[in-house]
A and B are shown apart, each in its own frame.
Chain A
């Protein structure tokens, strides 16, 4: 009788180990987490343009997009051979990247090539094509394959980031490419939208909004169709939606039982299953990548603290004890770490820890830094910050060495959510 919980624990421990081992194997290939010293030096040669007369112009831009993608991946240092002094900078390069850029009518074709140095033996060659209007996606897919070649895991250039733009008292939902290109609004409600999160296939965004006219409700829209539909507009709170990794459920905070409690809904917003029972505040739920555990914020022990529980609401425990006032948990897609915010005198810092709550590490400080969300490869964290004055979006590697600002055209931007790899931008 008393053995059963133990059995469950052992089973879980084995499953957890099975998840951790591949992540460790990745790290052995190239430990991108340990900072700039582990970046592989690459030499980029300009693409050779072919086809229509326009090809030369887009080819030059494609060179720069590829250079930025590879640098932003965190896996490489990049020397541009086409720049003055580029050849000298590339002296230590261990691989050379280039290719042929062919534009014919409305189609772009890229034949990408990677050679090892100094032997110049081809180690990767691959064809990519797409509509000329979306030529950047063609470059992103090549960049992601180069990351795969050297790290064992596909890059994240061909993904998107959803976020919130504040203009006066209104907040609209926006989306842009992961490199900050082409920011565009998805709503125009003149209301307040908050806390977007992607469905696991990247086809839908769930968000909290006052667009219904009363209190906060959960809405869902497809970034392509842009017509929101109501997922939950129950009396009281409907906030913080998060799709389960298998897409069949949505975690959220509801007020239907008179207090802010966590619930699991089905993907259409029905069948609420209550997961917490406490008269304090329970909010900001997120799933572990296996769907077996849930991290969330609760003030049941006084001030807000990140807690973790099983997906059925059992086995509840506080995540960290060496930092206090923690909120906004986000579980790494690798499963091994969580990111969260810790309150400071003037705002929040961003920290990570192992999923068992140990090894707490501050990765971002300075200004107020909020809403950390992982890239789909678990190598970067996107967050909002007012570190340079106006609140905008930034990306940090896990070493936190030098956060990179995303250009959202000077807009006040917050609440980012990084899309999964699959979805509309990907057509592999």
Chain B
């Protein structure tokens, strides 16, 4: 028994060390609330009111008219599932819409560019969908509104084998 335990402990320690390195290298969003996540956007879009200039003009406070297609597509860097740069602002906007439209349930679809193997991209697509879900949860969106799905590299938004096409294909969509 104890050698097995010892071995498990050693492996666990090694894994944790690797894990730390992996995190540092990839710049992965930490599992807790991302530091950049807006906990309460204070601007006009507080729950129950209409956010002027966005999706529900003139509905006078009703909250169920937003559609999944109103949510912004989020883009990723190569081989990455970190939410950085413009993706943060896009997800902040999406979070606001989701919080204001509690009946809106969406599936977050993670996609990849054509580089990388089929198998790896299936996992990477799931990671991207999960990253988006985690960010939205941290931004106050109820878990019941969010499901995730990986589409791997099977459904490119743009055909082509250049950086322009690849950049459009490394994405998370809302369906």
Contact = CB atoms under 8 A, between A and B. Distances in A.
B154 A169 contact: yes
Interface stretch (A27-35, A75-83, A94-102, A236-244): A236-244
- State the majority secondary structure of interface residues on B: helix
Interface string B149-165: 11010110000000000
B130 interface: yes
Interface string A274-289: 0001111111100000
Contacts of B104: none
A316 interface: yes
A316 B18 CA distance: 12
Contact of A194 (B11, B28, B118): B118
A216 B152 contact: yes
Contact of A284 (B22, B117, B152): B117
A210 B152 CA distance: 11
B22 A301 contact: yes
A4 interface: yes
Contacts of B31: 279
A195 B118 contact: yes
Contacts of A297: 117, 119-120
Given A281-B124, A327-B117, A5 B7 contact: yes
Interface of A, secondary structure class, is loop
Contact of A237 (B8, B21, B126, B154): B126
Contact of B150 (A2, A215, A240, A370): A215
B120 A281 contact: yes
Interface string A222-258: 0000000000000011011000000000000101001
A171 interface: yes
Interface residues of B, number: 35
B11 to A, nearest CB: 6
- Scoring B19, B25, B26, B122 by chain A CB atoms within 10 A of each residue's CB, the highest score goes to B122
B15 A283 contact: no
B150 A258 contact: no
Contact of A283 (B11, B122, B154, B155): B122
A1 B22 contact: no
Interface in B1-51: 2-3, 7-8, 11-12, 14-15, 18-19, 21-22, 25-26, 28, 31
Contacts of A258: 130
A255 B110 CA distance: 14
A216 B150 CA distance: 7
A208 B118 CA distance: 10
A345 B19 CA distance: 27
Contact residues on A (Cβ < 8 Å of other chain), bracket: 35 or more
B127 interface: yes
Contacts of B119: 194-195, 239-240, 253, 283-284, 297, 327-328
A167 to B, nearest CB: 13
A255 B133 CA distance: 15
B148 A239 contact: no
A408 B119 CA distance: 23
Given A237-B126, A301-B22, A302-B26, A327 B2 contact: no
Contacts of A316: 11, 14-15
Contacts of B117: 284, 297, 327-328, 341, 348, 370-371
Given A300-B19, A304-B116, A370-B117, A236 B148 contact: yes
A278 B19 contact: yes
A327 B19 contact: no
Nearest to B21: A301
A415 interface: yes
A4 B11 CA distance: 16
A5 B3 contact: yes
A260 B81 CA distance: 13
A303 interface: yes
Given A192-B154, A195-B118, A302 B22 contact: yes
Interface in A295-328: 297, 299-304, 314, 316, 327-328
A280 B3 contact: no
A343 interface: yes
A389 interface: no
Contacts of A410: none
Contacts of A1: 2-3
Interface string B59-70: 000000000000
Contacts of B19: 278-280, 300
Contacts of B14: 316
Nearest to A255: B126
A374 B150 CA distance: 29
A214 interface: yes
Contacts of B116: 304, 327, 343
A239 B121 CA distance: 11
Contacts of A304: 116, 120
Given A301-B18, A303-B79, 9 more contacts: A216-B122, A284-B119, A300-B15, A300-B18, A304-B116, A314-B8, A328-B117, A370-B118, A415-B118
17 contacts: A5-B3, A214-B149, A216-B122, A253-B119, A253-B123, A260-B127, A277-B15, A278-B18, A279-B31, A280-B22, A299-B79, A301-B22, A302-B25, A302-B26, A304-B116, A316-B14, A347-B115
Interface of A: 1-2, 4-5, 169, 171, 192, 194-195, 208, 210, 214-216, 236-237, 239-240, 253, 255, 258-260, 277-284, 297, 299-304, 314, 316, 327-328, 341, 343, 347-348, 370-371, 415
